[in-house]
Amino acid sequence: MKKLTNVVYSIILTGILISAGSISSTCAAQKPSTNLKIGTYDSRVVVIAYTRSDYFVQQQMKSHKEGNEILQSNDTVKKIEAFYKVMTEQYLLHQRGFSNGSSASILALVKDKLPIVAKDAGVDAIISRWELTFVEPAAELVDLTMPIARLYNPTGDFEKIADEVSKMDPVPLEDLPMDEVIEMWKQFEYKYLGKK
């Protein structure tokens, strides 16, 4: 009987050890990959590239045309709505260009080209460096600011401004003043609503 008990214990112990080895290898297989590569970009530089591109010029021309038609009308409600839209776009542009405001809607203009940038750089994902709240220490970060910015074919003084901006910290969102927006509203009221 004692031999039978020892055999049973040996079988059970062997089963436990095999199971433990299996669980250990499964856990090891589930560890995060050490070769994860994430592409990052400075959204401020991307916004600067956008503002010096045909994308921006076309959007501005469309907005001016629509705005002028509304301003020539006698519809005060439409005038106010149009101006609110302009002020909002201007404020968002300031958040994006000087702080860490989201550039998602601007990147949407070149989203079909982003997989090519990712493939060329060998990255698994692309995210704004200001929105990267945690990354596994073993992951590799690759700066894709300029490859992404160049998707807009920026012209003029882009390179110079991009270099200067990338050396500065973003202005905290809560420190961006509304002064310019308020001044724009006052001028709008005076010119188009007859207020003094």
Sign of CA dihedral 161, 164, 169, 174: negative
State the average pLDDT for the chain: 81
Q: Is residue 91 very low, low, confident or very high in pLDDT (cuts 50, 70, 90)? A: confident
Q: Is residue 63 very low, low, confident or very high in pLDDT (cuts 50, 70, 90)? A: confident
Model pLDDT, residue 12 = 53
What is the C-alpha to C-alpha distance for residues 31 and 148, in angstroms, rounded to an integer? 31
What is the C-alpha to C-alpha distance for residues 40 and 134, in angstroms, rounded to an integer? 13
pLDDT in tens, 145-158: 999 999 999 998 89
DSSP 111: T
- The per-residue DSSP string of 116-164 comes to HHHHHHT-SEEEEGGG-----TTSEEEE-HHHHHGGG---TTHHHHHHH
Question: Residue 159, Cα to own-chain centre: how many angstroms?
Answer: 20
Q: Is residue 110 very low, low, confident or very high in pLDDT (cuts 50, 70, 90)? A: very high
Q: Record the pTM.
A: 0.70
